Every structure is written in C-alpha cells, then in structure tokens.
C-alpha cells in the first residue's frame, strides 16, 4: 500500500502543499494543465528556493486579472467584507503573504465557485475533491458567523490563488497515487491575526474550526503557520494523524512557505513510500442509501446522479424494478461515507419523487489503488492501477483524460484508450 506522510512542523498552506507534491514527483505540467483547465486566467510560477539550508519547491500563482472569470459583472452583485489577515507581534506576514489591511471586496458565494470547478476540464474525481474542500471552508465560515452556508461569500478563500491551490491540490493528490495520507501534529504558530471584524489570536477562527479533532501545537514562532486553505486540505485529505509510519523506499518532497525564518526551515515535507503493513485488501465502513422511484423523468434521474456524485457519493447506480400494481420503477442505490449520508439523503428527497430513503451500514473490502501516468501520441493519460500483495490485479485508463484527448484531437475514444493501455504495458505492469 502506498502511503504519504505530511510533516507539518512549519504548518501548511495551499502553495506549500503544491510545492511538496511537485518535489515528491508530481509533474509540474500536470498542475499547469489543471490551472489552464480552470480557465480563470492564471498560471503557476515554480522556483527552487532555500529555507534555512533546505532546498524546496516554491509555487506562486500568477493572476491575469483581465482574463479571470472571477471578475465578471455577475460576480459584482454582493458587497461584503474581505478577511485578509496575517499574524502579527509585531507585524508579521502569513504563509501566503496576504495583506493585513481591512478591505471591502465583492465576495463570491460557494455556488459560483462550484460552478467554475464543475465547468473546468479536470477529472470528475478531482472536481469532487476540490468542491469538498471548498465545502468544508464554507461550513467553517458559516458556523463562525452563525449563518447559512449559502449566505457565506468567500473572501481570500474565493480568490484566484486559493482556487488554484485547492484544484491543483486535488489533481496533485490523485496523481501522487497514495492510498492513505497520514498527517503529523500541526504547528500553528503564534501571535495574532487581523480579520475584517477584529483581531484574534493564532490560529484564525476558521482555521481553528477546521482543525477540530486534529493535534495542534505552537513552537512559539510569531507567525500564522496554518492557513484556512491548508487546514481544509488536511481535513479532507488526511485519513489519520500520528507519528511517522513505517514505510519502505521513502521519497521526500519539500514545499516552501513564502517567508524565510532565521533558524527555522519554513517548509512542508511530504514523504511517500510503501507501507510495511500493507494488507491484501483494506476494509472501511460505508453507508448504503436506497430509494424506489417511479413517475420520475429519466432526464431528471441523470441530473440526480450527477448531483449526488458532485456532493461526495462514492458511487451511484440504478436497477430497473417492477413495483406494486405492476408499475415500472427504478431502484436508486448510493454508496457514501457515513458523514455524507444525511446530506445525500436530503438531495434524494429534494430531487426525486420518493417518499422514503432506506439506510444501512456495510463493510467493504477494497484493493490498494494508485495512479500511473503514461504518454500517448496525443498526450498524457492517467492509468488507475489496483494491487494486491504488491501484484497488479487490474488497470484501466482514466476515462475523462481519454475523452478530453479524443475531443481535442478528433480521434476515436477507443483508439486513445487502447494506446494508453499499450503504453502502460510497455512500461511494465509493476510500474
């Protein structure tokens, strides 16, 4: 089983996470392509820097304001305070270098951000992950301000750089192919943070809310080391917290923060390797939701499936059934994480004609999976590879990659898929 460990001894931010992923082997071009697919007029600037003797990868988001979708007139309809903050004692910058000035800005609701991500050209799985990260950010803000999430307008979190950080994090993790991400305790820093509505101690309110249940501490460094974006990434991607796990063939990558603190390496380290405790299969708990549907337009059913998948369902499928009074119907089945069951049940009730949703908890066994990238004559394709006891048991090209390439180059989809499989086999099935 492939495992990744996040060493957050200097906290975590979105750009640090991207730098660590690249330094650990994720192709910079994959992330550049993800930014282009967002179509918001941004690009990545990648450099190598030194942080207290440690060479690390630094990622900066370069924004072309004139081209970005986020500045269109329809997004100018809601005036809100913008939370731009930094830790101070005295005045100190955050990892992202955001200005501490209390400004007014036109906020961007979660719905608009989701629309941009859904319309992008990245894979469906990465879209779901990115949307989930923004969702937890919105939930944290809503709880802090005691308001409905739909009334939350994202501030610095909704800016182009944060959107790029989150989408690239989702794409990068998928490319990394780790079956499990483990996180160390997080050094949150110290001092104070300036928000639009006042001054608070580090960590910032949204950050602290996102880190509920996570082990945190302060080394005393006067800076905000964990940003809300970094906290949301950890919350959604880390399966557990703990000490450095046993692993074989480790490879480390270092992502640099914006500031260079004297005597303190301001970097995030990610270490990737094979777990020595790898099992034949892993077991987890899932919730199964079921509903019998009749009198539902088939076109509406397709929309419902898309909604459920976008909101976190692991799988959605349907079976034709014959109901009472010989009515033809459909059995809808949704597999999801237990924490998502209430939200997905509400979607089923709101979008379908059912009057009841059945729910049960089940155990599932899953093979270890990872992503392997291959180069075809038309472009890169990700292969999903499943392993048992270190032996490849299944492999398949990622459909969204193949569909995009087929559309761009006007070639048959089956030809792209066949070429991807051939390239993978040439590399060797244990690649």
pLDDT in tens, 277-296: 544 556 788 999 999 998 88
Task: Tell me, yes or no, whether 189 and 157 share the same domain.
Answer: yes
SS3 of residue 24 by DSSP? coil
- Between CA 380 and CA 329 the distance in angstroms is 42
SS3 of residue 208 by DSSP? helix
Q: Measured between alpha carbons, how far is residue 336 from residues 126, 147, 177, 343 in Å?
A: 17, 27, 21, 10
Task: Tell me, yes or no, whether 116 and 233 share the same domain.
Answer: yes
Identify the bridge partners of residue 226 per DSSP, sorted by sequence position: 12
pLDDT for 80: 31
Range of the domain at 266: 2-275
pLDDT for 156: 44
Beta carbons of 431 and 422 less than 8 angstroms apart: no
pLDDT for 160: 81
Task: Tell me, yes or no, whether 399 and 338 share the same domain.
Answer: no
Q: For residue range 19-54, what is the model confidence (pLDDT) as tens digits?
A: 999 999 999 999 999 999 998 889 999 999 999 999
Beta carbons of 393 and 430 less than 8 angstroms apart: no
Boundary residue ending a domain (339, 366, 393)? 366
pTM: 0.64
pLDDT for 70: 44
Q: Between 94 and 224, name the one with better pLDDT.
A: 224
Task: Tell me, yes or no, whether 418 and 315 share the same domain.
Answer: no
The secondary structure of residue 125, as a DSSP letter, is H
Task: Tell me, yes or no, whether 194 and 332 share the same domain.
Answer: no
Task: Tell me, yes or no, whether 11 and 41 share the same domain.
Answer: yes
Boundary residue ending a domain (249, 275, 301)? 275
pLDDT for 103: 37
Q: For residue range 176-210, what is the model confidence (pLDDT) as tens digits?
A: 988 889 999 999 999 988 776 678 899 999 899 99
Of 26, 115, 124, give the one whose Cα is nearest residue 75. Answer: 115
Q: What is the mean pLDDT of residues 132-148?
A: 86
Q: Between 179 and 236, name the one with better pLDDT.
A: 236
The total number of structural domains that make up the chain: 3
Of 389, 388, 414, give the one whose Cα is nearest residue 402. Answer: 414
Task: Tell me, yes or no, whether 183 and 329 share the same domain.
Answer: no
Task: Tell me, yes or no, whether 233 and 270 share the same domain.
Answer: yes
Task: Tell me, yes or no, whether 65 and 186 share the same domain.
Answer: yes
Q: Measured between alpha carbons, how far is residue 286 from residues 257, 321, 416 in Å?
A: 37, 24, 34
pLDDT for 36: 93
Element (H, E) at 168: helix 160-176
Q: What is the mean pLDDT of residues 340-349?
A: 95
Task: Tell me, yes or no, whether 190 and 157 share the same domain.
Answer: yes
For all residues of the chain together, what is the average pLDDT?
84
CATH number, position 422:
3.10.20.300
Task: Tell me, yes or no, whether 90 and 53 share the same domain.
Answer: yes
Q: What is the mean pLDDT of residues 64-82?
A: 39
pLDDT for 79 beyond 50: no
CA atoms within 13 A on the CB side of 6: 33
pLDDT for 67 beyond 60: no
Q: For residue range 387-409, what is the model confidence (pLDDT) as tens digits?
A: 776 678 889 999 989 999 999 99
pLDDT for 277: 54
pLDDT for 74 beyond 60: no
pLDDT for 295: 84
pLDDT for 281: 59
Share of the chain above pLDDT 70, in %: 84
pLDDT for 428: 65
Q: pLDDT category, 153, cuts 50, 70, 90? A: low
Task: Tell me, yes or no, whether 216 and 134 share the same domain.
Answer: yes
Q: For residue range 96-137, what is the model confidence (pLDDT) as tens digits?
A: 433 333 333 445 778 888 999 999 989 888 999 999 999 998
Q: Quick one: 146 exposed, middle or buried, by C-beta within 10 A (0-12, 13-18, 19+)?
A: exposed
Boundary residue ending a domain (251, 275, 299)? 275
Q: CA-based Rg of the chain, rounded to a whole angstrom?
A: 22
């Amino acid at each position: 089983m492939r495992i990744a460990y996040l060493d957050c001894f200097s906290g975590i931010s979105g750009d640090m996470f991207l730098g660590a992923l690249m330094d650990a082997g994720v192709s910079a071009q994959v992330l550049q392509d993800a930014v282009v697919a967002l179509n918001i007029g941004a690009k990545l600037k990648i450099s190598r820097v030194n942080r207290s003797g440690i060479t690390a990868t630094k990622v900066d988001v370069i924004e072309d304001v004139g081209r970005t979708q986020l500045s269109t007139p329809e997004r100018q309809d809601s005036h809100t305070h913008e939370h731009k903050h930094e830790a101070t004692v005295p005045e100190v910058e955050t990892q992202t270098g955001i200005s501490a000035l209390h400004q007014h800005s036109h906020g961007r609701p979660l719905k608009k951000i989701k629309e941009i991500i859904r319309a992008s050209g990245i894979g469906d799985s990465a879209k779901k992950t990115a949307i989930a990260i923004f969702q937890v950010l919105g939930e944290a803000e809503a709880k802090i301000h005691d308001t409905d999430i739909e009334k939350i307008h994202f501030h610095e979190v909704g800016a182009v750089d944060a959107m790029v950080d989150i989408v690239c994090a989702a794409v990068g993790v998928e490319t990394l192919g780790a079956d499990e991400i483990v996180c160390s305790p997080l050094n949150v820093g110290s001092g104070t943070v300036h928000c639009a509505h006042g001054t608070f101690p580090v960590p910032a309110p949204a950050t602290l809310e996102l880190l509920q249940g996570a082990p945190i501490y302060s080394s005393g460094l006067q800076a905000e080391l964990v940003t809300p974006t970094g906290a949301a990434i950890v919350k959604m991607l880390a399966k557990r917290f703990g000490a450095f796990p046993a692993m074989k063939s480790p490879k480390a990558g270092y992502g640099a923060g914006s500031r260079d603190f004297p005597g303190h390496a301001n970097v995030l380290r990610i270490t990737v390797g094979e777990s020595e405790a790898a099992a034949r299969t892993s077991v987890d708990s899932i919730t199964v939701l079921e509903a019998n549907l009749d009198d539902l337009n088939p076109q509406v059913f397709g929309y419902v499936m898309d909604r459920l998948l976008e909101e976190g369902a692991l799988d959605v499928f349907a079976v034709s059934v014959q109901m009472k009074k010989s009515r033809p119907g459909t059995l809808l089945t949704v597999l999801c994480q237990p924490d998502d069951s209430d939200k997905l049940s509400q979607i089923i009730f709101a979008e379908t004609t059912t009057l009841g949703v059945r729910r049960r908890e089940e155990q599932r066994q899953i093979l270890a999976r990872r992503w392997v990238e291959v180069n075809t004559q038309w472009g890169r394709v990700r292969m999903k590879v499943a392993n048992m006891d270190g032996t490849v048991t299944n492999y398949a090209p990622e459909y969204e990659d193949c569909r995009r390439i087929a559309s761009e180059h006007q070639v048959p989809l089956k030809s792209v898929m066949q070429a991807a499989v051939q390239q993978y086999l040439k590399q060797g099935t244990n690649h």
